[in-house]
Amino acid sequence: MVTLYVGSSESFAGKTLLCIVLGLRFKTAGLRVAYFKPLGLMPTRVEGVTTDEDAAFVNEVLALGQSPDSLSGALVSPDIMAQAFRAQKIDVEAAIMKAFKSLSQHADIVLVGGLGSVLYTGMAVGLPTGRVTDMLDAQALLIGKYRDERSVDAMLAAHDVLGDRAVGLIINEVPENQLAYVRETVIPFFQRRGIEAIGALPRDQILNSLSVRELADTLNAEVLCCQEDVDELVEHFSVGAMSVESALRYFRRSPNKAVITGGDRSDLQLAALETSTRCIVLTGDLRPDPRILSRAQEKRVPLLLTRDDTLTTVERIERVLGRLRVREQKKIRRAMELANEHLDLLRLEEKLGLAR
């Protein structure tokens, strides 16, 4: 059996989505796959059992059929953190090992989802990444988000934490205008340092999009119409606070967008509905004119009503962007396409001893 720990140099770098991509690939190859998250952070209830939300989602998407109590060893709750701060004994290792041994009995490969950053997450409760990989005797795959050259330092530090257990590095979220530089300069730099680079993934508009449903949840907004279209993905955001003539030119530049505007700006709302718009966010708790509601229903464009003003709404959206959790099938399909195009997954399989 192979155990592969997927960790990252920072939070929200793409660990869960990478586990899904690898899990789908390994299942297609006929391997028995299991998923495990030693430390969970986001509790959810499944069949009356409290487990980690990401782990439950991976179990569902990969159709693993694992029992909820086998998906995560322990949840990093406020109670556990309080015990750590008071120097009280915290014994979650036994729970982690019990769950891991149970799920791994009938698996060819166990994908282990890391929590937060390899560099620091888990230290307060006595379970840093190095301790977890040793406990599970896991090989480790590192994924790092690339912004600029300074991102390399974090990846190097994270790779040092993983040590000899590291089998490869995936560089994620590379801006399109830096992709050639990363491939021609940064990857050879890593390779000269003995770090196996599996590939670089470009920043992708679909993967960084937000569904209308997520947007409504983020803003605590009321969906006034077109509930059946809330799973559509928003790829751009436009703020409407100009003349109609300027707005039309502005709106036409951005497809698949959400338009944020005051609930009293019927002129801008009508302009938005004549362009490629996924939803309109009406701010200030001002309900739209009946004509707008009717036209939105014709165009199948959800209207979201929020109590916040436009500035506050924009700030709330900015806070959630870059911290998205993948839950849409369209994103998973896109991730598979990108992985097959940009990653040397055969090399990864060779490193894991899974080469076909």
Domains 2-204+325-352 and 210-320 share a fold: no
Q: Residue 355: pLDDT above 80?
A: no
Tens digit of each residue's pLDDT (9 = 90 or more) over 161-182: 999 999 999 999 999 999 999 9
Q: Residue 45: pLDDT above 90?
A: no
**What tokens were used for 116?**
């937060």
pLDDT, residue 84, reads: 79
CA distance 150 to 137: 31
Lowest-confidence range among 63-72, 212-221, 225-234, 317-326?
A: 317-326
**What tokens were used for 243?**
């003349």
List helix spans (H) across 65-182: 78-85, 93-104, 129-136, 151-162, 179-181
Domain ranges of the chain: 2-204+325-352, 210-320
The answer to whether the CB of 132 falls within 8 A of the CB of 157 is: no
Q: Residue 356: pLDDT above 90?
A: no
Which long-range contacts link 153-157 to residues 24+ away (Cβ below 8 Å)? Answer: 154/9, 154/10, 154/119, 155/9, 155/190, 156/193, 156/195, 157/9, 157/119
CA distance 78 to 76: 7
* SS3 at position 298: helix
Nearest CA among 11, 159, 24 for reference residue 76: 11
* SS3 at position 141: strand
Q: Residue 133: pLDDT above 80?
A: yes
Tens digit of each residue's pLDDT (9 = 90 or more) over 242-297: 777 788 888 999 899 999 999 999 999 999 999 999 999 999 999 999 999 999 99
Pick the CATH number of 210-320 from 3.40.1390.20, 1.20.200.10, 1.20.1560.10, 3.40.50.1780: 3.40.1390.20
The answer to whether the CB of 144 falls within 8 A of the CB of 9 is: yes
Element (H, E) at 318: helix 310-320
Tens digit of each residue's pLDDT (9 = 90 or more) over 299-344: 999 999 999 999 999 999 988 886 667 778 899 999 999 999 999 9
Report the CATH fold assignment for 2-204+325-352.
Rossmann fold (3.40.50)
Burial of 99 (0-12, 13-18, 19+ CB in 10 A): buried
Q: pTM for this structure?
A: 0.87
